[in-house]
Chain A
Amino acid sequence: MDTIRLLIVDDVEDNRLVLRAICRKMEGFEIREAEDGIEAVERVEEWHPNIILMDVMMPRMDGFTASKIIKERYPEIIIMAVTAVVDPQMEENMASIGVSAYIRKPIDKEIIRFKLQSFASLLRAKEGTFKSLSEKEAMNPFSKDIRNFKTIFGITDADAMMDFGMWILGRCEDCMAISCTKVDTVIELFYELMRQGTCQEKWPSIIIEESFEEIFVTMKCEESIDFQPKAMGLLGELGSECIVRANIVSIRLRMQCGSKVALKEISKETIPEPLPIPVVAIKAQAVPNVTASEPILAKEVRVIQSVEKELLRQSFVHKTTAVEYVRDIGGDVLDEIRDLASLDEEWRDKLHILEEEPTSQNLRNFVDGVLGVYVGAINTLFEFTALAYALSALGSFLKENSSMIADDAKKLKNLIMLMEHLGADLASWREHIFSLQDAGDIHYLDSSFFSSCMQIEGIIGDKAVETDDDNEMEFF
């Protein structure tokens, strides 16, 4: 499915303009408009949209009547009602004829976008799933002896990945197959690769083939796969059950008849929540055209041995510049991080309040408020989980010891001073990574920041910083 056809139906031109502006920011949508119910029905006949945003109160023919007609003729079309009228009865009526969502005006652009993306994913997943191919040529490098069908998932976003995860778990259960740890690792690995791919706007497909005793799960990317440390680790865990080629990762899951494992128990944990994916990085793309008969060159075969795992973990760590990083994460995330600038003042204010009124409550307010917001925002950036962890660990420590700190004037003074500096470090980090983008290595501050947080904990908690004896200064 190359593009999703979206029809906007509203009798007020301004409303159509607003909706169009909201939707235009999302790639992969072709948009047309209709001014009332009658025109909507006509557009549906001539253009057959996939999704309709339908106003309810319109002249000539209202949105309910139009939706009813359209749903009777084309039940597969997804209709979202958009209305200013709060009318539970209408909402119920709309639902009864198959309208998928009921959105209230004034329009929240995030809700509209989220819903549209979700429905678009669903449409694409439906198209990608259960598509049978007659070609017998195997995609997987393990075996040519496969059954005469394939299942292909075009992975364009987290929802499509969820579909794959649910499907493979279900399939494994049907087949009474496979140790559950492997399925778990496979899903985690593909999720990780998908996440990488999504950030780079490369869209993988997952092809599932089966023999009578095995299931082969193969991810094919458009370009060579760049394995980052986490993915390397997961590959290592799969060992010889995994074959990697330039743009293909293929995994063999063996059916073990009779050993029906508790797949249901792991299913929820196994499938990563779609939340951590930067929403802006998700863009609608066509399902890559997967052909099963592509020749696979034997010399590219590379089986990852577990003994190499650790070495690879280290050697695959490469430096990312701020420019590269910012280019990959996309605009909305960037805006969110830049918005943190507004917290700089609050950070100082809350510390000032703590200085004026040294109560444990004020310290906890600082931790739960501005520090918490920072942790939340940094947590959305995959690359900086260590930074978020350092901050959140420090926050927990401060909360646990808030009474002790509030009662000790000297400690409190030192803490406020150190936290002011830490806040300034965060501001400067934001600037070097996201504004000036002049950092040659986006992780230039991570370890130092981590160590500062530990040290602050040491100073305030009167704890020796955990360093072993060999860690004395080394003289050359």
Chain B
Amino acid sequence: MAKRVIIVDDSRAVVATAELALDEMIGSGIIEFKSYLNPLQLLAALQSGSENFDLLISDVNMPEMNGLDLARAIKADDRYKTKPIIILTTESSNEMKMAGKEIGVTGWMVKPFSDEKMVKSIKMVLGV
């Protein structure tokens, strides 16, 4: 069964480049891909139970809600606390990474990303 990968990023261009990078995995049915531009919408969908994921890839700087706050809120929910979250951001400061680690995110990826790096990381996290 295809693993559900969700990406949340306020930039449509970032979402589109990620989707292009994962094109083969999506085409071959390894993953199904869903994107959200607004973290609040994703959070609401997750909390209502209408959305679910096997891997969440989240941006940090978004106008509606910071990606780390989003991760914290999701991790506080028993249904999702063991689900992997990867942060995909241009931020690379150690303080930010430490904050992510404390929240319990699985990994930290810095933009811009290469297709190979994206695919490799996702395969590792999902174990596929």
Residues of A within 8 A of B (CB): 414, 417-418, 421-422, 424-425, 428, 432, 438-441, 443-445, 447-452, 454-456, 458-459, 464-467, 471-476
Contacts and interface: CB of A to CB of B under 8 A. Distances in A.
A438 B17 contact: no
Contacts of B16: 417-418, 421
A421 B10 CA distance: 11
A292 B22 CA distance: 68
B110 A476 contact: no
Interface stretch (B26-34, B47-55, B72-80, B113-121): B113-121
Nearest to A419: B13
B61 A444 contact: yes
Contacts of A448: 9-11, 14, 59, 61, 89-90, 111
B61 A441 contact: yes
Given A425-B11, A451-B112, A475-B106, 17 more contacts: A418-B20, A425-B13, A438-B63, A444-B62, A447-B111, A448-B9, A448-B10, A451-B90, A452-B11, A455-B13, A458-B112, A459-B17, A465-B113, A465-B114, A467-B117, A473-B124, A474-B107
Interface in B33-87: 37, 59, 61-64, 86
Contact of B17 (A428, A443, A455, A466): A455
B17 A418 contact: yes
Contacts of B100: 476
A421 B19 CA distance: 12
B14 A452 contact: yes
A475 B17 contact: no
A421 B37 CA distance: 12
B110 A445 contact: no
B114 A444 contact: no
28 contacts: A417-B16, A418-B20, A421-B12, A422-B13, A425-B10, A425-B13, A428-B37, A440-B63, A444-B61, A444-B62, A447-B91, A448-B10, A448-B59, A450-B90, A451-B111, A455-B112, A456-B13, A456-B17, A465-B112, A466-B112, A467-B114, A472-B117, A473-B107, A474-B97, A475-B107, A476-B105, A476-B106, A476-B107
A473 B86 contact: yes
| Majority DSSP secondary structure for residues of A touching B | helix
A414 B112 CA distance: 17
Contacts of B111: 447-448, 451-452, 455
The listed residue with most A CB atoms (<10 A of its CB), out of B37, B62, B91, is B62
Interface residues of B, number: 37
The listed residue with most B CB atoms (<10 A of its CB), out of A439, A445, A465, A473, is A473
A440 B60 CA distance: 13
A425 B113 CA distance: 19
A473 B10 contact: no
Contacts of A474: 97, 107-109
A445 B12 CA distance: 11
Contacts of A445: 10-11, 61
Nearest to B61: A444
B25 interface: no
Q: Which 6 A-B pairs have the closest CB atoms?
A: A447-B90, A421-B12, A452-B13, A451-B111, A451-B112, A473-B121
B100 to A, nearest CB: 7
A451 B113 CA distance: 9
Contact of A473 (B59, B109, B112): B109
A382 B109 CA distance: 30
Contacts of B114: 458, 464-465, 467
Given A418-B17, A456-B17, A444 B10 contact: yes
Nearest to B111: A451
Nearest to A417: B16
A452 B17 contact: yes
A48 B35 CA distance: 68
Contacts of B109: 473-474
Nearest to A454: B112
A439 B66 CA distance: 11
B112 A449 contact: no
The listed residue with most A CB atoms (<10 A of its CB), out of B89, B91, B114, is B114
B15 A414 contact: no
Contacts of B97: 474, 476
Contacts of B13: 418, 421-422, 425, 449, 452, 455-456
Contact of A467 (B15, B61, B106, B112): B112
Contact of B108 (A418, A452, A473): A473
A424 to B, nearest CB: 5
A432 B112 contact: no
Contacts of A414: 20
B112 A428 contact: no
A195 B70 CA distance: 38
Contact of A428 (B10, B90, B91, B117): B10
A459 B116 CA distance: 12
